[in-house]
Amino acid sequence: MSTWYYCRNGQQNGPVSLDELKGLIARGELDGSTFVWQVGMSEWVKVRRHPQLAGLVSTSSALSDAAAWRPPPKRSIRRTLLEVIGSKLSN
């Protein structure tokens, strides 16, 4: 039986079994951004990055980091620059 640890609210929790960990994920107590670790791992990883656990989290939570910020399209930057330049020229 493998023992796992997880970090929630800044606190290390565990040890728990893989089944217990999967239950926490299934109940929504842990999500894709929760850090987990077990003996043999070189570092803590997010649930969504661990091959045994990634499939247990929804796609939307797995993409939450990437979707949190995206640069604006180049067209809107150009439009913004033209508006700034235009306002400077009209003053």
pLDDT tens across 21-74, in order? Answer: 999 999 999 999 999 999 888 999 999 999 999 999 875 444 445 444 455 454
Q: What pLDDT, on a 0 to 100 scale, did the predictor assign at position 80? A: 59
Residue of higher predicted confidence among 38 and 80? 38
Q: What pLDDT, on a 0 to 100 scale, did the predictor assign at position 75? A: 45
Q: Which structural domain range is residue 72 located in?
A: 3-90
Residue 81 DSSP label: H
Residue of higher predicted confidence among 71 and 82? 82
CATH code where residue 47 lies: 3.30.1490
The alpha helices in the chain, defined as continuous H runs, are 18-26, 59-62, 64-68, 74-90
Sign of CA dihedral 44, 48, 49, 52: positive
CA 2 to each of CA 16, 37, 49, 50: distance values in angstroms, whole numbers, following the listed order: 8, 11, 18, 15
- Its pTM stands at 0.62
Q: Reduced to 3 states, what is the DSSP secondary structure of residue 74?
A: helix
Q: What pLDDT, on a 0 to 100 scale, did the predictor assign at position 19? A: 94
How many independent structural domains does the chain possess? 1
